[in-house]
Amino acid sequence: MRRYCKMVGNAGEEFAAKILEDEGYMILERNYRTRIGEIDIIAARDGVVHFIEVKTRTSDEYGYPADAVTEEKQNTIRRSAEIYMARRRLMWRAYSIDVAEVTFNLIEDCV
């Protein structure tokens, strides 16, 4: 089950990155790690750096994907974003913390 969840999560991140590129975002980093946590996608568009948490689900049985981004997770992303901005000397740039929601309808047992 864990492997299945990882595969769904990876597919969601790939899908989100492709959509962002199609919408004119430049992907700067994927799975950026700091000592505090990880940011799924860092992208830029129109002078704004976007720190994007991708949440992928196969149904809304347990709520919308963004519902899983707790206040603690938001703080982790914010602190990781600040580290990224400082390391890249981008502190003067505008930035945004966003959530990309991906929901897949999986078809089981198809031939």
Say how many residues make up the chain: 111
For residue 109, tell me if it sits in a domain: no
3-class DSSP state of 50:
strand
In the sheet with 94-103, reading across from the earlier edge strand, the strands are 26-33, 38-45, 48-57, 94-103
* pTM assigned to the model: 0.86
Q: Give a yes or no: residue 108 inside a domain.
A: no
Task: Kindly report, residue by residue over 73-103, the tens digit of the pLDDT.
Answer: 999 999 999 999 999 998 778 999 999 999 8
> What pLDDT, in 10s, does the model give residues 11-26?
889 999 999 999 999 9
- CA dist., res. 69 & res. 49, Å (int): 19
Weakest mean pLDDT among 21-30, 36-45, 53-62, 74-83: 53-62
**pLDDT value of residue 107:** 55
Structure-model confidence comparison of residues 65 and 98, the more confident one: 98
Q: Is residue 79 part of a domain?
A: yes
Range of 77's domain?
A: 2-103
